[in-house]
């Protein structure tokens, strides 16, 4: 009888030890999984901040030559956000100037012509441009009568429309990009648009043509 009770106690103790060992192991696995999920979340966050393409753009009221990068997103990658740094030569001023532009693009649809070329019949959007120079101001200086200028000369708002043609580089020939897109845009800024209606300007006085290339990295 005593031997039976002793065996039962040993069995129960063994079961308790197994139970707590398994419970601790399960908790350890759960903690490891939570850690892996946190690490994966951090990686996804940093990967989402990595630009997916670079761009070169000539003219457009944002600088003679502009170099930028950006991100494409949306279900069909129909949205793009660009950041550009541009250069304005001296021309009639004393010094050359640098510019910065933040641009939002919308591409509603694409037409696949073949395995190599894709046509984007419409792109449109807005961009905000500023010049790094003390010659431009956000608030009207005191030297001017109040209300003499009703706009900021430091920041310009532009609207544009254009078209694009994408060349999909074959896998074996890719070096630094998976595709190259050539585009043109016709744009105008807020000041020009207001002047067009108030001063009856010709289209070539307030519309600007720009050309560019986009290099898709990812």
Number of domains forming the structure of the chain: 2
Task: Show pLDDT as tens, one digit a residue, over the chain (218 residues).
Answer: 555 555 565 565 665 556 556 556 556 666 667 767 877 877 777 777 899 999 999 999 999 999 999 999 999 999 999 999 999 998 767 789 999 999 999 999 999 999 999 999 999 999 999 998 877 656 665 665 666 556 677 889 999 999 999 999 999 999 889 999 999 999 999 988 888 888 888 888 899 999 999 999 98
| CATH number of the structural domain spanning residue 78 | 2.40.160
Looking at residue 114, the DSSP 8-state letter turns out to be: S
- Residues found in the chain: 218
Are 34 and 99 contained in the same domain?
A: no
Q: How confident is the model at residue 140, as a pLDDT?
A: 60
43 with 137, same domain? no
Tell me the torsion sign for CA atoms 150, 190, 214, 56.
negative
Is 26 in the same domain as 64?
no
User: Does 26 share its domain with 67?
Assistant: no
CB distance 113 to 128 below 8 Å? no
For residue 9, give its domain range: 1-49
């Amino acid at each position: 009888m005593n031997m039976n009770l002793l065996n039962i106690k040993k069995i129960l103790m063994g079961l308790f030890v197994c139970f707590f060992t398994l419970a601790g192991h399960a908790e350890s696995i759960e903690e490891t999984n939570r850690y892996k999920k946190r690490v994966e979340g951090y990686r996804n966050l940093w990967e989402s901040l990595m630009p997916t393409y670079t761009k070169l753009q000539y003219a457009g009221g944002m600088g003679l030559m502009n170099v930028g990068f950006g991100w494409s997103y949306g279900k069909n990658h129909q949205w793009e956000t660009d950041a550009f740094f541009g250069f304005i030569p001296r021309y009639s001023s004393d010094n050359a100037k640098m510019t910065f532009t933040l641009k939002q693009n919308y591409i509603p649809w694409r037409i696949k012509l073949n395995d190599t070329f894709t046509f984007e019949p419409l792109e449109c959007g807005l961009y905000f441009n500023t010049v790094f120079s003390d010659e431009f101001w956000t608030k009207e200086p005191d030297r001017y009568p109040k209300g003499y200028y009703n706009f900021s000369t430091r920041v310009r708002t532009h609207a544009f429309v254009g078209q694009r043609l994408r060349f999909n580089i074959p896998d074996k020939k890719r070096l630094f990009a998976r595709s190259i897109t050539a585009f043109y845009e016709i744009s105008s800024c807020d000041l020009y648009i207001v002047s067009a209606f108030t001063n009856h300007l010709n289209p070539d006085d307030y519309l600007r043509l720009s050309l560019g290339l986009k290099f898709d990295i990812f």
